[in-house]
Amino acid sequence: MPQLEKRSWAEPFKIKMVELLKMTTRQQRAKAIKDAGYNTFLLKSEDVYIDLLTDSGTSAMSDRQWAGMMRGDEAYAGSANFYTLEKAVKKYYGYKHLIPTHQGRGAENILSQVMIKKGDIIPGNMYFTTTRLHQELAGGTFVDVIIDEAHDPQSLHPFKGNVDLNKLERVIKKYGAKRIPYICVAVTVNLAGGQPVSMKNLKEVRALTGKHGIKVMLDMTRIAENAYFIQQHEKPYAKRTIASIVKEICSYTDGATFSGKKDALVNIGGFLALNDDDAYAEASNLVVVYEGLHTYGGLAGRDMEAMAIGIEESVQDEHMKARIGQVMYLGGQMQHAGIPIVQPIGGHGIFIDAKQFLPHLKQDQFPAQVLAAEIYEDAGIRTMERGIVSAGRNAKTGDHYYPKLELVRLTIPRRVYTQAHMDVIAESVQSVYQRRNAIKGLSMIYEPQYLRFFQARFKKLS
């Protein structure tokens, strides 16, 4: 018998319920995106066929999670589901104290207010929009200490999320450790293209910051995806489970903010986790002001139960293999078609290099913004700009930040779409690529003060 060359992976689940989608015509989509000011955030979801805007809160929950929702204990104080969640956080992540929040940015707000004083410096491995804004609102200044490769969409470095230890050391020397309450390490790094951090790097960051009394705070939003890359690409971890790698990552940190809407497979929820008793006491007091009592933090009891179950499901090896396997499949189709994408392929989606896709547009003509609009118009696929619009303006000079990466993100929700959907996506992007030279830029006609990418409006340049 001849041996098969390769065996395919498939999802470790079957589909129990489906959601029907509205199909639209190109003419309808052209009007919809124009009415939305060429901003995919302002489209109505019912006008979208395949929604790749984000992997946040868009995953399909399991039957176990839905069953857990029925066990919601909607008590104002001391809900049973809080204790279930606390147990899951201790078991899978190892943190001592848990404060639930309505989502990740709720935790970022509390952490920033507790830890940051005016004039402080917060190094991080590339910024994330809400994280940096909360640091700034608390009086801090973010400094990027990610390795240079992260800013190069073609670099094949397997751990492009790594912290550059020389950059970090220079920041410590320049500002002094007293002004640096913590370094924020994100696993994986969203805006770099879902790029992972290696365990070796985490250990080195721990050693360097430990010498200076600087804490390490994790943005552990996509930690299980990061663990998968460590398992695949870091030799000593090849035989380790995702669950054990996840727990080891947390062990090199003092606390974490978490958006449960990604890895943890829920539609809403997040938390702040801390090991330090005093910081916890302050944070659990502050959460009452912004989110709710420290045993629910803006969540219903049922949401906490679903998140506890989702955390457990997220660290299963088979789940993660299928999750990243689907992202890799789409990336492979795009590469095959010659579409310029960020390499290596990251954890939560495919990032198209809009500068290379539309080299005739200047960055302040918003190439990624217009490309996202064109992809929507072609087949109803909704994606997101992650470039100059997302980067915002320098608060002091008022100028745009000009990020090196000008990307369109095709984010894959977990357990939602099929391989046939992936094929349709790749073909649609290919069709836009074929007529790329005819695509014109945009000008911004409305710009809100905060996180402008959510609500800015544009018009086509003639």
Question: Is 267 one of the binding residues for ligand F0G (CB under 6 A)?
Answer: no
> CB burial class (10 A; 0-12, 13-18, 19+) of residue 170?
middle
Q: CA 295, CA 301: separation in Å to the nearest integer?
A: 9
Angle at 382 between CA 378 and CA 384, to 5 degrees: 120
142 catalytic? Reply is no
- The 8 Å CB, 24+ separation contacts for 164-169 are 165/201, 165/204, 165/205, 165/208, 167/123, 168/123, 168/205, 168/208, 168/209, 169/208
Among 86, 219, 291, 406, binds ligand F0G (CB under 6 A): 219
280 catalytic? Reply is no
* Distance from the Cα of residue 79 to its chain's centroid: 29
Smallest distance from ligand F0G to CB 448, Å:
16
Enumerate residues 127-146 that contact ligand F0G by CB under 6 A. 128, 130-131
Among 65, 79, 81, 103, binds ligand F0G (CB under 6 A): 103
Whether omega before 344 lies within 30 degrees of 0, making that bond cis, reads yes
Residue type, 139: G
Among 84, 109, 190, 363, binds ligand F0G (CB under 6 A): 190
Q: CA 245, CA 232: separation in Å to the nearest integer?
A: 11
Among 39, 48, 51, 56, binds ligand F0G (CB under 6 A): 56
Task: Return the residue nearest ligand F0G (CB atom).
Answer: 104
Name residue 341's beta-bridge partners.
352
The residue count for binding ligand F0G (CB under 6 A) is 15
Enumerate residues 15-54 that contact ligand F0G by CB under 6 A. 54
Contact status, residue 38 vs residue 374, Cβ threshold 8 Å: no
Whether omega before 188 lies within 30 degrees of 0, making that bond cis, reads yes
Dihedral (Cα; 132, 213, 164, 412), 10-degree rounding: -40
453 catalytic? Reply is yes
262 catalytic? Reply is yes
129 catalytic? Reply is yes
**Which of 37-45, 101-109, 286-294, 335-343 is the region at the interface with ligand F0G (rule: CB under 6 A)?**
101-109
Contact status, residue 293 vs residue 256, Cβ threshold 8 Å: no
Q: Which is nearer to ligand F0G, 172 or 327 (CB)?
A: 327
Q: Which is nearer to ligand F0G, 81 or 267 (CB)?
A: 267
Identified catalytic residue from 160, 215, 262, 409: 262
Identified catalytic residue from 38, 92, 128, 159: 128
Q: Which is nearer to ligand F0G, 98 or 172 (CB)?
A: 98
Q: Which is nearer to ligand F0G, 260 or 367 (CB)?
A: 260
H/E stretch holding 217: strand 215-219
278 catalytic? Reply is no
Smallest distance from ligand F0G to CB 86, Å:
19
362 catalytic? Reply is no
Q: Which is nearer to ligand F0G, 72 or 161 (CB)?
A: 161
Which parts of this chain interact with ligand F0G (CB under 6 A)?
54, 56, 103-105, 128, 130-131, 186, 190, 219, 221, 259, 261, 270
Q: Which residues are catalytic?
A: 76, 128-129, 219, 262, 386, 453
